[in-house]
Amino acid sequence: MLNIAIIGSGPAGYYTAEAAQKQWGDGVRVDIFDRLPVPYGLIRTGVAPDHQSIKGVSRRYEAVALTDNVRFLGNVTVGTDITIAELTGLYDAVVLATGAPNDKPLGIEGDDLANVFGSAAFVGWYNGHPAFAGLEPDLSGSHAVVIGNGNVALDVARILAKTTPEFTGSDIVGRALELLGTSSLTQVTLLGRRGPHQIAMTPKELGELGHLTRAAPRVDPADLPPEAEDAALDPGQRKSVTHLRAFAAAGDAAAKPFTVDFDFFAAPRRLLGEGGKVTGVEIERTKLDENGRAVGTGDIYTIPASMVVACIGYQTSPIPGVPFDAAGGRFANEEGRILPGLYCVGWARRGPSGTIGTNRPDGFGVVEKIAHDVGAGDGPIETGKPGGEGFDALAAERGLKLVEFHDWQKIDEAEVKRAREGAPREKFVAVDEMIRAAGKH
Ligand code: NAP
């Protein structure tokens, strides 16, 4: 019997568990830990609340969670409740699937002003992550600036631009919906430090911007390269650029009271403030160098900003004793192996890139590495460790309030029951509320 601990119950965690079942069948026991009492990681707290069909993938994880040899152990913080050294002592293999929950720092003057947020915090707020539930952004100004040209920037711009009825059917948390309903914003500027051909937005998500009730995207036709140059792009990117061309062509004919402006070749250099609160962004016009990187042209201008959300990527939380690649913002690893017996997968392995589905081959990849290290019992992994039973004894000794999958099902049921009309659920946003709903108080 091989005992595996997976830390993190997001897509990377569950795909790894699924892969372990395929590899060893009944010969493996998997415990999936999470610091929250609720599973699914970014599916719950990252994927946009108005993208419910994407969240549907959690049903696949549920099927894995309900099998006999996989347990969910929520409300356990590695580093506080149990150390990595203890886990590696208890389990034959430990896989870090902890994602990349921290914002990459913007690192410019003024990034500590009030009403400046990173996307982990901002997205976590409207998605009900307990760490950010109390964010209370000030939406009383008229102009938000969103930094970055990736899908998260698109999500944030769209959420800020939508009207209350456009959230019907979403699981945006009640407090965020209420606050967004009082928003005075009339403009979001999306700052891209490179050009339309370098956006990291996918076509479907970009296309959605053209179908909002009160908001319309605006692209300056002068920013677009000659159309013939689109031929060199890969098909997905070409499709995205086609959307930008359509937005540019629509021009004033598509005007609506709320605009989402694309400002390309625009690198933020400084955030300006008054009384400790952000009021504007100083920007340097850029151009691309021969390697496709953005370089400043010296042309500086300023735009007003009553709030700023930096959507420039994420990094993994280091864990004491685990080798960390600070430049990459992830664990130092070789194709998922940190050391024999300690592995990482998903964003914790490769950084924050790719789609949810990218984590599936990643999960299979790390299981292959574990299988290799187990060998025919002659590999560098020492097997025969106590596994879950050992953990249970330690948890009892420490008085940990474990939330198992059947406890999560109670939380789930309670959230569904208290949903506002038309919403799939109303999430609990505080850990103690979740614990209470699980009947564990
Ligand atoms: P991302 O795709 O890496 O985009 C980050 C953006 O920030 C890029 O445009 C990047 O520009 C820019 N940037 C980075 N550092 C900057 C700086 N210092 N100043 C100005 N701009 C800067 O990251 P993401 O949007 O956070 O998304 C993370 C992953 O989740 C991606 O794989 C994404 O596709 C995925 N995701 C998918 C969906 C969906 O499918 N619906 C939704 C959300 C997220 P450069 O290109 O110039 O570096």
How far is C-alpha 273 from the geometric centre of its chain's CA atoms?
Answer: 28
What mean pLDDT do residues 248-272 have?
94
**For 182-282, where are the alpha helices, taking DSSP H only?**
203-208, 235-250
pLDDT above 80 (res 422)? yes
How far apart, in whole angstroms, are the C-alpha atoms of residue 226 and residue 223? Answer: 10
Please give the pLDDT value at position 74.
Answer: 98
**CA 25 to each of CA 28, 109, 343: distance values in angstroms, whole numbers, following the listed order:** 6, 54, 20
pTM of the shown model: 0.97
Please give the pLDDT value at position 20.
Answer: 98
Instruction: Indicate the range of 107-116, 252-261, 397-406 predicted with least confidence.
Output: 252-261
How far is C-alpha 258 from the geometric centre of its chain's CA atoms?
Answer: 26
Tokens representing 122 are 């901002």
Atom of ligand 1 nearest to the CA of 152: 25
What mean pLDDT do residues 111-129 have?
98
What mean pLDDT do residues 6-34 have?
98
Domain residue extents for the chain: 2-101+315-437, 105-310
Contact between residue 395 and residue 87 where contact means Cβ atoms under 8 Å apart? no
pLDDT above 80 (res 265)? yes
How far apart, in whole angstroms, are the C-alpha atoms of residue 345 and residue 323? Answer: 14
What confidence tier does 431 reach under pLDDT thresholds 50, 70, 90? very high
Which strands make up the sheet holding 266-274, listed edge to edge?
266-274, 277-288, 294-304
As a residue count, the chain comes to: 441
Beta strands in 264-313 (DSSP E): 266-274, 277-288, 294-304, 307-310
Contact between residue 193 and residue 294 where contact means Cβ atoms under 8 Å apart? yes
pLDDT above 90 (res 253)? no
Beta strands in 243-398 (DSSP E): 258-263, 266-274, 277-288, 294-304, 307-310, 314-315, 324-325, 330-331, 337-339, 342-344
Which secondary structure element, helix H or strand E, spans residue 358, and what is its range? none
How far apart, in whole angstroms, are the C-alpha atoms of residue 250 and residue 405? Answer: 50
Beta strands in 89-150 (DSSP E): 93-96, 102-103, 116-118, 143-147
What mean pLDDT do residues 33-56 have?
97
Give the SS3 label for residue 354.
Answer: coil
Using only C-alpha atoms, the chain has a radius of gyration, in whole angstroms, of 23
* pLDDT tens-digit readout, 285-329: 999 999 999 999 999 999 999 999 999 999 999 998 899 999 999
**For 25-107, where are the alpha helices, taking DSSP H only?**
42-45, 52-55, 58-65, 84-90
Q: What is the DSSP string of 144-183?
A: EEEE-SBHHHHHHHHHHH--GGGGTT----HHHHHHHHT-
Ligand 1 centre to CA of 29 (Å) is 36
* pLDDT tens-digit readout, 106-118: 999 999 999 999 9
What confidence tier does 379 reach under pLDDT thresholds 50, 70, 90? confident
pLDDT above 80 (res 75)? yes
Q: Where does 105-310 sit in CATH, by number?
A: 3.50.50.60
Ligand 1 centre to CA of 93 (Å) is 32
Closest C-alpha to ligand 1, atom 29: 353
pLDDT above 90 (res 169)? yes
What confidence tier does 168 reach under pLDDT thresholds 50, 70, 90? very high
What mean pLDDT do residues 172-182 have?
98
Residue 259: HSE in the Cβ half-sphere, 13 Å Cα cutoff:
16
Please give the pLDDT value at position 376.
Answer: 81
Q: Which residues pair with 206 in a beta bridge?
A: none
Share of the chain above pLDDT 70, in %: 100
Closest C-alpha to ligand 1, atom 42: 151
Atom of ligand 1 nearest to the CA of 293: 47
How far apart, in whole angstroms, are the C-alpha atoms of residue 18 and residue 31? Answer: 12
Q: Where does 2-101+315-437 sit in CATH, by number?
A: 3.40.50.720
Atom of ligand 1 nearest to the CA of 108: 18
pLDDT above 80 (res 129)? yes
Q: Which residues pair with 150 in a beta bridge?
A: 200
Please give the pLDDT value at position 291.
Answer: 96
Please give the pLDDT value at position 441.
Answer: 78
How far is C-alpha 350 from the geometric centre of its chain's CA atoms?
Answer: 14
Ligand 1 site, CB within 6 A: 147-153, 155, 192-194, 198, 200, 202, 205, 267, 294, 311-313, 352-355
Ligand 1 centre to CA of 111 (Å) is 18
What confidence tier does 424 reach under pLDDT thresholds 50, 70, 90? very high
Contact between residue 68 and residue 106 where contact means Cβ atoms under 8 Å apart? no
* pLDDT tens-digit readout, 209-235: 999 999 999 999 999 999 999 999 999
Contact between residue 77 and residue 395 where contact means Cβ atoms under 8 Å apart? no
Q: Which of 146, 193, 270, 355 to mutate to test the pocket of ligand 1 (most atoms within 8 A of CB)?
A: 193
Average pLDDT, the chain: 97
Which residues, at least 6 apart from 261, have a Cβ–Cβ distance to it below 8 Å?
187, 188, 189, 190, 217, 218
Closest C-alpha to ligand 1, atom 9: 149
How far is C-alpha 309 from the geometric centre of its chain's CA atoms?
Answer: 14
How far apart, in whole angstroms, are the C-alpha atoms of residue 106 and residue 254? Answer: 33
Please give the pLDDT value at position 377.
Answer: 79
Beta strands in 34-186 (DSSP E): 70-73, 93-96, 102-103, 116-118, 143-147
